Structure 1
């Protein structure tokens, strides 16, 4: 783990930490610079210590897990058989366009005006 700390300009009370992102062998390494308040940094350090991890390990694992959850939440959803059938039926048999949709489709797009 590599930690660098530098002092912010006079009058600014925002600590700066640099966290090096370590990847598996053969992958490029990069860094992420974060400005966080001291109490947030301490909270992260306390949680990492409870798990026996470094701040970097904790932040990478936690951020990676959250990123996966966000991406899956946008791409994956689970349905029981009955709801799956209803979903597929709705896709296969969409409702007829209503007046608002027909009006929208008749309008010229903003980029063509």
Structure 2
């Protein structure tokens, strides 16, 4: 079973350097978010990058289905469920930062 991210980060030696350039506004935003989590900026950036990389890799996983399951899967993709009234209302709302 894989270790939780926090355990992986604490157990791993930090022997590699990753450098990025970012606009001042982005750094300020990242710093503010890191402070809210009680993390150093580098810890916050590494955690976010780790989660995004993991999600990207998991999104590319291959899975195999028998013919019947594959046909059912394609049917589900071709006929998504109807949008509920509640979901439709939520999609019409402006995001808090757009208001």
So what's the TM-score if we normalise by structure 2?
A: 0.52
Cα distance between partner residues in 2 of 1:76 and 1:69: 14
Greater per-residue helix proportion: 2
Are 1:71 and 2:69 an aligned pair? no
- For structure 1, the 5+ residue unaligned runs are 1-21, 89-113
- For structure 2, the 5+ residue unaligned runs are 1-8, 74-99
Cα distance between partner residues in 2 of 1:45 and 1:59: 9
What is the RMSD of the two structures over their aligned residues, measured on CA atoms?
3.2
So what's the TM-score if we normalise by structure 1?
A: 0.46
1:24 is displaced (CA, Å) by: 2.6
Greater per-residue strand proportion: 1
Equivalent residue number for residue 111 of structure 1: none
Deviant stretches of 4+, over 3 Å: none
1:86 is displaced (CA, Å) by: 2.0
Structure with larger RCO (C-alpha < 8 A, sep 6+): 1
